């Protein structure tokens, strides 16, 4: 078990090093940072001075090493556009994205699993069929369209919910939260639905098909033959067996909820890191882009690590295999 975790960590480090290399190459090769930083009016002396200052005259491996050293300490340099350290900017923006991702991820998992189990058990029922049909819409509509539709219905026509922004926020330490104010919570509803809808329908369909498979398994028949109640069979025996493949997909999907919050944040003008990233692209703000890239890859790697550990918790066969293999 311990050896397994260590091995997985080592693999994660390799992944991060590769992503770091990509982020680093952006500095080096996407335009000349000197060009970006100095205006049209510049002298050769200015260029040389800045080059030495930024360490760009040193060999590339040395530069990469320095970049990594700084990155590990959370230092990605100064934003070209805002002139402030990137780490501060991201720290300001991260709570908004994380809160949004948390709410929509929670919605997607709970609703997805509940509806998936429901539609599997009542396969022939009218309600299940309606849910399945509606879920097709969730899968096939692009996120930005769902967002715009929701804004049109709930903000423009019904005027129930705000169409943009986070509402009022409260600072707890360095963390700005929208959970504690009514307007903050109201502002969360539409973006969370928009962001989570696709994941929810995906999880639901996955749970449903896995569940149908498991319900046909011999051990479910045997559980019936032992006279266990439907509730125990469906929610204890079947659901747990459904979880292994579901966790794989869900883990990856949660990563993408954070990573692809960009679109939702743009539609709702949500002041999170996604919006920051979009703005950074527009202004070729490379330090911000590199930091964002690293942040997202750290999240993906962490989530994958958690997923692998969850397998262990759920499936005893893996525990023994890991010891034996």
Partner 1 sequence: MSLLTINDLTVEFPTRRQLFTAVDHVDLSVEPGEIHGLVGESGAGKSTIGAAIMGLLDRPGRIASGTIRLSGDQISGLDADAMRGLRGKKISMIFQDPLTSLNPLFTVREQLTETIQAHLGGTDAEANQRARDLIDRVGIPDPDTRLDQYPHQFSGGMRQRVVIALALCTEPDVIIADEPTTALDVSVQAQILDLIKELAQERQVGVILITHDMGVIADTTDKVTVMYAGKVVETGPTSQVMGQPSHEYTKSLIAAVPRPTLKLHRFPQISYGGRETRFAIEDMARHWPKVDNDASKPVFEIRNLTKKFLQRKGLLPWDRTYFTAVDDVSFDIRAGEVFGVVGESGSGKSTVARMIAGLYPVDGGTITFNGQVVSDLTNKAALDAYRKNIQMIFQDPYSSLNPRMRVDDIVAEPIRHHKLMEGADVKRRVDELLDQVGLGHEAGLKYPHEFSGGQRQRISIARALATQPRFLICDEPTSALDVSIQAQILNILKDLQEHLGLTLLFISHDLPVVRQMCDRVAVMKQGKVVELQETNELFANPQTEYASELLRLMPKLDDLSTDGLEAEA
Considering the rule CB under 8 A, would residue 2 count as an interface residue with partner 1? Answer: no
Tell me which of 50, 228, 281, 310 binds partner 1, using CB under 8 A.
228
Closest approach of Cβ 237 to partner 1, in Å? 5
CA 155 from centre of chain:
26
Q: Which two tokens stand for residue 257?
A: 């909820």
HSE-up (13 A, CA, CB side) for residue 238: 31
Please give the C-alpha separations between residue 91 and each of 74, 86, 106, 140, 302, in angstroms, as whole numbers. Answer: 10, 9, 23, 34, 18
Closest approach of Cβ 218 to partner 1, in Å? 4
Closest approach of Cβ 97 to partner 1, in Å? 35
Considering the rule CB under 8 A, would residue 317 count as an interface residue with partner 1? Answer: yes
Closest approach of Cβ 315 to partner 1, in Å? 6
Q: Which stretch binds partner 1 (CB under 8 A): 28-36, 98-106, 225-233, 248-256?
A: 225-233
Tell me which of 29, 157, 226, 282 binds partner 1, using CB under 8 A.
226
3-state secondary structure of 228: coil
Tell me which of 89, 199, 237, 258 binds partner 1, using CB under 8 A.
237
Tell me which of 240, 278, 302, 306 binds partner 1, using CB under 8 A.
240
Burial of 313 (0-12, 13-18, 19+ CB in 10 A): exposed
Pairing of strands 170-172, 175-177: antiparallel
Considering the rule CB under 8 A, would residue 315 count as an interface residue with partner 1? Answer: yes
Q: Which is nearer to partner 1, 9 or 22 (CB)?
A: 9
Q: Which stretch binds partner 1 (CB under 8 A): 51-59, 159-167, 273-281, 309-317?
A: 309-317
Closest approach of Cβ 149 to partner 1, in Å? 39
50 contact partners, CB below 8 Å, separation of at least 6 = 34, 37, 38
Q: Which is nearer to partner 1, 50 or 228 (CB)?
A: 228
CA distance linking residue 38 with residue 84, whole number of Å: 17
Q: Which stretch binds partner 1 (CB under 8 A): 31-39, 139-147, 181-189, 219-227?
A: 219-227
Tell me which of 229, 278, 302, 309 binds partner 1, using CB under 8 A.
229
Q: Find tokens 């002139």 and name the residue.
A: 83
Q: Judge whether 89 and 82 are in contact, CB under 8 Å.
A: yes
Closest CA to 199 of 246, 165, 155: 246
Residues that bind partner 1 (CB under 8 A): 217-219, 221-229, 232, 236-237, 240-241, 314-317, 320, 324-325
């Amino acid at each position: 078990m311990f050896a397994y975790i260590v091995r997985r960590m080592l693999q994660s480090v390799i992944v991060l090093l590769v992503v770091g290399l990509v982020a680093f190459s952006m500095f080096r090769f996407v335009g000349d940072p000197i060009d970006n930083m100095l205006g049209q009016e510049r002298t050769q002396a200015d260029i040389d001075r800045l080059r030495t200052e930024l360490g760009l005259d040193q060999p590339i491996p040395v530069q990469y090493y320095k970049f990594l050293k700084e990155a590990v300490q959370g230092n990605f340099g100064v934003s070209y556009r805002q002139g402030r350290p990137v780490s501060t900017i991201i720290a300001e923006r991260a709570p908004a994205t994380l809160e949004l991702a948390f709410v929509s991820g929670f919605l997607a998992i709970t609703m997805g699993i509940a509806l998936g189990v429901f539609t599997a058990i009542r396969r022939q029922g009218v309600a299940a069929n309606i849910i399945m049909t509606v879920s097709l819409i969730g899968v096939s509509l692009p996120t930005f369209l769902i967002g715009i539709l929701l804004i049109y219905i709930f903000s423009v026509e019904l005027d129930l919910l705000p169409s943009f922004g986070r509402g009022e926020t409260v600072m707890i330490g360095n963390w700005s939260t929208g959970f504690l104010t009514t307007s903050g919570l109201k502002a969360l509803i539409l973006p969370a639905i928009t962001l989570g809808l696709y994941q929810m329908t995906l999880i639901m369909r996955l749970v449903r098909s896995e569940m149908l498979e498991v319900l046909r398994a011999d051990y479910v028949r045997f559980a019936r033959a032992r006279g266990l109640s439907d509730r125990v069979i469906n929610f204890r025996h079947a659901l747990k067996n459904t979880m292994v493949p579901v966790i794989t997909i869900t883990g990856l999907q949660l990563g993408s909820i954070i990573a692809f919050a960009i679109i939702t944040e743009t539609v709702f003008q949500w002041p999170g890191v996604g919006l920051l990233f979009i703005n950074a692209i527009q202004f070729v703000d490379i330090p911000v882009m590199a930091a964002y890239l690293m942040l997202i890859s750290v999240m993906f790697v962490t989530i994958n690590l958690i997923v692998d550990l969850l397998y262990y918790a759920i499936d005893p066969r893996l525990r023994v295999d890991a010891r034996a293999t």
